[in-house]
Amino acid sequence: MGKVNLSIKLKNRLDELDKIKAAVAEISATIDCHQRNSKEINLILEELFTNVVSYGFDDDKEHDIDLSISCDESFLLIRIEDDGKPFDLAAAATPDTKCAIEDRYIGGLGIHLVKHFMDDYKYYRKNGKNVIILKKYITKDQKTKANSKVKQNS
C-alpha cells in the first residue's frame, strides 16, 4: 500500500456528518483498517465536527470546514481546519470520567476521546483558522514505539 490521501470540504451543518462517515469508511477500506480503529476515528471526527458546528461560530453564516485524511503503512494523519473561534483542544482540561455522571461538568468528552484514542494531536492557529492535526499509528510495532516514547518523556 502506498500513501493514501482524501480531502473533503464540509459546511458547518450537522447533516454533513454523513460525508465524514463515508470518508472514514472509504479510507478504512483502502488501508484495510481494523473495524475498531475505524469506529474510534469516526467517533472522534464526529465529536470534533459537531463541536465546531455547535460552538465554533458566532454567526449564522455558512463556513467551510476542511478535512483531510492521509495514510501510509505506519500511521493515519487527520487534519481539520476551520475559521471558527480559537479553541486549543490540546490545552483544554480532560474531564473527570471517574466522578458520578450527575457531578460531571458538561462537555469535554470529545477532548477525552481524542487524548485517549489518538497517539498524537496538536493544535495551532494560522491565518485566522483553527488547525487540528491528529495522528494514529496503525501498525502494532509503531504503537509500541509510541507508547514507550511517551513513557520515557513522562
Domain with residue 65: its CATH number is: 3.30.565.10
Total number of domains constituting the chain: 1
d(CA 110, CA 52): 11
Of 107 and 28, more confident: 28
Domain range enclosing 61: 4-149
Helix%, strand%, coil% for the chain, nearest 5 = 40, 25, 30
The DSSP bridge partners found for residue 69 are 6, 78
Please tell me the distance from the alpha carbon of residue 129 to that of residue 104, in angstroms, as a whole number: 30
Instruction: Say how far apart CA 55 and CA 59 lie, in whole Å.
Output: 10
Q: Is residue 154 part of a domain?
A: no
- pTM, two decimals, is 0.80
Per-chain mean pLDDT for the chain:
82
Other CB atoms closer than 10 Å to residue 114's CB: what's the count? Answer: 21
Query: pLDDT band at residue 107, thresholds of 50, 70 and 90?
Result: low
The pLDDT tens digits for 79-96 are: 999 999 999 887 776 666
Give mean pLDDT, residues 69-86. 92
Cα(111)–Cα(50) distance, rounded to whole angstroms?
12
Q: In the prediction, which pLDDT does 11 show?
A: 98
pLDDT, position 146: 44
**Cell numbers standing for residue 151:** 513513557
Region 91-112 average pLDDT: 65
Do 135 and 77 meet the contact criterion of CB atoms below 8 Å apart?
Answer: yes
pLDDT digits (tens, 9 = 90+) for 135-146: 998 765 434 444
Span 11-36, pLDDT tens digits = 999 999 999 999 988 888 877 677 77
Query: What is residue 79's predicted lDDT score, i.e. its pLDDT?
Result: 97
Tell whether 140 is covered by a domain: yes
Residue 37 burial (CB count, 10 A): 17
pLDDT band at 69 (very low <50, low <70, confident <90, very high): very high
Examine residue 57 and state whether it is found in any structural domain, yes or no.
yes
Residue 70 belongs to what H/E stretch?
A: strand 64-71
Query: What would you report as the CA-atom Rg of the chain, rounded to the nearest whole angstrom?
Result: 16
